[in-house]
Chains A and B, each alone.
Chain A
Amino acid sequence: MSKPRVAIYDLTDCEGCEVELVSLRDALLLLLDKIDLVNWRLGQENNKPGPFDITLIEGTPITQHEIDLLKKLRKQSKLLIALGACAAIGGIPGIMDKAERRKWYDKIYGKGYKPRGIDSLPLSAYVDVDFLIHGCPVNKEEVLRILEELLSGKQPSYRGYSVCFDCKRANNECRMVNSQPCLGPITQGGCEAVCVSGGSTCYGCFGYRDEANVKGMVRALSRVSDRQAIDRLFTMFLKKTKEYDKVVKPALKNLKP
């Protein structure tokens, strides 16, 4: 049986998730034995066009060229996988709203500037995405697990638990219990709770876990935080998710400022 043809593409982003792939070191070599990596701009000079069996896409499609490329890759790929928060949920570039862009082009580049960017949305705004590998950046072990499941022909699974579970395993004190805002309870696990272990909050870069009670989360946060701070927590990575528009925003409206 021939090896699956795999491509790795990056759109506008920081490329930190690809850096994590390189950081897999020996495990990356083992992975490369099992696949035919036919296209990886960052890593090699000789790149072949599609069709591909699996295409990993990192970054946010911001320019028209990127949106067109993404649609072409969708047609050429059996499986299209989002690699990291920018591709999966919009992430940090998603903090910028479309309506605000012109103002900032003028301020940053000057009035005559012809922008390339249109909007900063996740891949799923333009194409169907078969699976999301979450994280800013992705967790290396999770990438390996998901790719191994894909390569063995299985439908990869999302983690059925929240970051709280990772926190317990890491022996962290619960931030919410200590009255420190945290999105861990509604966020999908698999990150090893690396941010909370390092003393930061959880901003939800792994996306919502299944059946997350987002409304309940806002209510719980309102006991330890104010409206603006809760909004900032959700808008770090999750601003371009439908849950933010449909649940978080209305729930925040009912809170005292």
Chain B
Amino acid sequence: MITKEFITRIEGHGNLSVDWKKNTVHLHIHEGERLFEGLLIDRTAEEMIWITPRICGVCPVAHNMASVDAVEKALGVEPGPTVLALRELLQCGQMIQSHALHLFFLALPDYLGIDRATELADKDPVAFKRALALKEVSDLIVKVVGGRSVHPVTSVVGGFNRAPAQSALVKLRRKLDASAGAAQWTVDLCRRLKYPDLKVELALVAQSKGSIAAVSSLDIDKRRKAPIENYKEEIEEEVKDYSTAKFGRCRGEVELVGALARLAVSGAYDAEKYGVDFANPFHNNLAQAIEILHYHTKARRIVNKLLKGKMNLAIKKMKRRPPLKGIGATEAPRGGLYHEVHLGKQGSRLQKTITYANIVTPTVQNLTSIEKSARALIDQSSGVSRKKMEKLLVMLVRAYDPCISCSAH
């Protein structure tokens, strides 16, 4: 056993056990089972989008959006363009919130030689101020659109209960302008960090234009695609006796999802310029920094557009005979998230009750890969002391930014 207690500075409760002689690594997940797929049964369609954010307080918006998508498909509801823009803005806020929390409060202390992120306030007050500015602006985005920074209250099937006030958007734009420098600085900071060496062959998987796309970490031009509707065949889940979370694979391959995979699949965001190594999972931290900048820039663009146009929250289309089954999908901060829902026939649209729910979270998809990368790290680090090795392994788990609450929903 290398980590006797739960691993610190990660979301949720897990620990690692390593058999050094046999070179086996097990990631034990101890989170209690909340059985969300069971407790959703007999709740109404509109309650689903209220309940699922409680799976995770770090990425509640992602769960809200995945459920909204699933329920709208089941009910044959198509939202209008303003709603879609507001949802994109909400997602930008969610990405920056989650990445900033992870980078500054959970991961970076390893690289900066501190124990708790708040120590940075004394050590490098300017850096700490920038970190807080990003946390503040991302919280504000989610609050302005979603009504609260954790667990949104305005988001409903078809759109939003209310649109953000013009004055709130103007204030948000000011805060976004003021924090743009901090977003760029985050990339520069993470580019300069010395990441441990590691090379692992993994499938990097991300949602892309309605499909699940996979590229190889060793050759990102080698690409495979499948429609999102096939998510159950694409992502296989396995139950392990040492974990309350299932362990995922993509078509039999060990997969990595999240920021690094999104960079690889999209091929955008100047990954090359910043020296991103897709075969090294430690570079997920760098990828998160690049995404902070990307989503910050995108948020500014959306806010500017919203301020120029007219807000119209009306639903675009509504099917007369809804299919009553829907698969919702979104890229959560930690990777592809899938919510499936089936609804009963009784009752008006929103009062129909849930007869089946299935949720596949990003961290489930990453767990198998954390173990594989840990074994590779041990193999590839010869002459490293046991103590140093243990530290590196915990850093590796953190680099994946696991969300254990999500994984054991």
Q: Does A146 contact B (CB under 8 A)?
A: no
Is there a chain B Cβ closer than 8 Å to A222's Cβ?
no
Check B57–A116 contact: CB distance below 8 A.
Answer: no
Report if B284 contacts A (CB, 8 A). no
The answer to whether A66 and B147 have CB atoms under 8 Å apart is no
A43–B10 Cα distance when bound, in Å, is 8
Stretch of B47-55, B187-195, B299-307 contacting A (4+ beta carbons < 8 Å): B47-55
Of B116-124, B204-212, B216-224, the one contacting chain A is B116-124
What is the number of contacts between chain A and chain B, taking CB atoms within 8 Å? 180
1/0 per residue A90-127: CB within 8 Å of B?
01110110001101110111100111110010000000
CB <8 Å contact, A62 and B153: no
Nearest CB of A to B159, in Å: 11
Please tell me if the beta carbons of A43 and B9 are within 8 angstroms of each other in the complex: yes
Q: Which of B34, B53, B148 contacts A96 (CB 8 A)?
A: B34
Check: B44 CB closer than 8 A to any chain A CB.
yes
Question: In chain B, what residue has the closest Cβ to A63?
Answer: B32
Whole-angstrom distance between the Cβ of A75 and the nearest chain B Cβ: 19
Q: Which residue of B lies closest to A17 (CB)?
A: B57
Stretch touching chain A among B65-73, B131-139, B269-277, B325-333? B131-139
User: Does B197 sit at the interface, judged by CB under 8 A?
Assistant: no
Chain B interface, number of residues (Cβ within 8 angstroms) = 62
How far does the alpha carbon of A105 sit from the alpha carbon of B35 in the complex, in Å?
8
- Provide the bound-state CA to CA distance between A62 and B151, in Å: 22
Question: How many Å from the CB of B40 to the closest CB on chain A?
Answer: 9
If over half of B's interface residues share one DSSP class (helix, strand or loop), that class is named, otherwise mixed; here it is loop
Contacts A15-B11, A137-B57; A25 near B135 (Cβ below 8 A): yes
Contact B50–A120 (Cβ < 8 Å):
no
Assembly CA distance A20 to B143 (angstroms): 12
Q: Which of A160-168, A193-201, A210-218, A240-248 contacts B (4 or more CB under 8 A)?
A: A193-201
Determine if A26 and B239 form an interchain contact, defined as CB atoms under 8 angstroms apart. Answer: no
Q: Is B56 an interface residue (CB 8 A)?
A: yes
Query: Do residues A44 and B116 form an inter-chain contact, with CB atoms below 8 A?
Result: yes
Known: A44-B8, A109-B239, A114-B241. A200 touches B50 (CB 8 A): yes
Could you say which of B50, B244, B351 has the most chain A C-beta atoms within 10 Å of its C-beta? B244
Which residue in B6, B35, B38, B105 is a CB contact (below 8 Å) of A22? Answer: B105
A232 within 8 A of B: yes
Residue ID in chain B nearest A229 by CB atoms: B351
Does A254 reach chain B (CB closer than 8 Å)?
Answer: no
- Which A residues touch B54, using CB under 8 A? 14, 16, 91-92, 136
Chain A 36-60: CB-based contact to B (< 8 A → 1; otherwise 0): 0100111111110000000000001
Cβ–Cβ contact B139 & A23, under 8 A: yes
Determine the distance from Cα of A93 to Cα of B36 in the docked complex, in whole angstroms.
Answer: 8
Interface check B33, CB cutoff 8 A: yes
Q: Using a Cβ–Cβ cut-off of 8 Å, how many residues does chain A contribute to the interface with B? A: 65
In the bound complex, how far is the Cα of B244 from the Cα of A16, in angstroms? 20
| Chain B positions within 8 Å of A41 at CB level | 5-6, 8-9
- Whether the pair B37, A108 counts as a contact (CB closer than 8 A) is yes
B33 touches A116 (CB 8 A): yes
Closest to B100 in A: A22
| Beta-carbon contact of A26 and B35 below 8 Å | no
B101 at the interface (CB under 8 A from A): yes
**A32 in contact (CB, < 8 A):** yes
A11-B32, A195-B153 known; A16 vs B118 contact (CB < 8 Å) = no
Contact A113 B239 (CB under 8 A): yes
- Least Cβ–Cβ distance between B298 and chain A, in angstroms: 22
Residue of A11, A13, A109, A198 contacting most chain B CB atoms (<10 Å)? A198
With A22-B101, A62-B32, A113-B239 known as contacts, the answer to whether A107 contacts B11 (CB < 8 A) is: no
Q: Which listed residue, A13, A91, A195, touches B405 by the CB 8 Å rule?
A: A13
Which of B33, B150, B156 sits near A115, CB closer than 8 Å?
Answer: B33
- In the complex the two chains form, what is the Cα distance from A199 to B157 in whole Å? 13
| A79 lies within 8 A of chain B by Cβ | no
A236, CB-defined interface residue at 8 Å: yes
B405 and A15 contacting across the interface, CB-CB below 8 Å: yes
Q: A96-B35, A194-B147 are in contact. List 18 more A-B contacts (CB 8 A).
A: A12-B405, A14-B54, A14-B405, A15-B56, A26-B132, A32-B118, A44-B115, A92-B39, A104-B38, A113-B239, A197-B147, A198-B147, A198-B153, A199-B147, A200-B154, A203-B50, A232-B43, A232-B44
Q: Can you list 18 A-B pairs with a CB-CB distance of less than 8 A?
A: A13-B405, A15-B11, A15-B12, A16-B57, A17-B57, A18-B57, A23-B135, A23-B149, A28-B118, A46-B115, A95-B43, A101-B35, A120-B34, A137-B151, A194-B147, A198-B152, A198-B162, A200-B154
